[in-house]
Amino acid sequence: MESTRSAPLDGTPDPAKAHAGGHEIRADIAGVRIRDLTPILDDRGETCELWTAAWGLGDPPPHVYLATVEAGVAKAWIVHDRQHDRLALVSGRMLVVMYDDRPGSPSRGTVLEVSGGERRRRLVEIPPGVWHGVQNIGTAEAMFVNLPTRPYDYDAPDKRRLPADTDAIPFRFRGASPRSG
């Protein structure tokens, strides 16, 4: 069948995702730090440091926990008033999304997406006041380890939540089954 269109299809330009040197192009949020975690391989397997004082990331974590996210699920949104979260993306394929709503922040209103997992292990440090959520963008369970800067306060947790599908944050998790927090 012959087309009756007189003009070619236009399409949407694909945005650049990396510089020529291979570095990602992304918006930055003040205080967010991202570190690639390099595995050390040998004939027995691999070792991957998640945190060391030599990196200069502040005090040692007083509380460490592992969390899982089922395939296709987004766990969002949370914010801390006092602690930094330090998420080590260790297995599966994960997307960490952050939104800066801090009054006076030079990056207020910025949304930052960082992906990682077993193919690219990363440590993502999220400062207090930055809303964040994680989404498993893979097909199997994904895991991250959190190494926060404060111990968990069982009597008064330093955590506030918004629903994953809130209109207050200009981001929508694609194809996800949203779960709050």
Domain spanning 33-45+57-180, CATH architecture: Sandwich (2.60)
What is the C-alpha separation between 132 and 124, in angstroms, rounded? 11
| Per-residue pLDDT, 108 | 97
Mark residue 166 as left, alpha or beta (left: phi above 0; alpha: psi -120 to 50; beta: remaining).
Answer: beta
The helix, strand and coil proportions of the chain, stated in percent and rounded to the nearest 5, come to 0, 40, 60
Residues 140/75, Cβ–Cβ less than 8 Å: no
What is the C-alpha separation between 176 and 72, in angstroms, rounded? 5
| Per-residue pLDDT, 73 | 96
Closest CA to 74 of 133, 145, 162, 160: 133
Question: Mean pLDDT of all residues in the chain?
Answer: 90
DSSP letter, residue 8: -
Confidence of residue 147 (pLDDT cuts 50, 70, 90): very high
| pLDDT tens digit sequence for 13-69 | 766 665 565 556 566 999 999 999 999 999 999 999 999 999 998 889 999 999 999
Question: Tell me, what amino acid is at 3?
Answer: S
What is the C-alpha separation between 38 and 52, in angstroms, rounded? 13
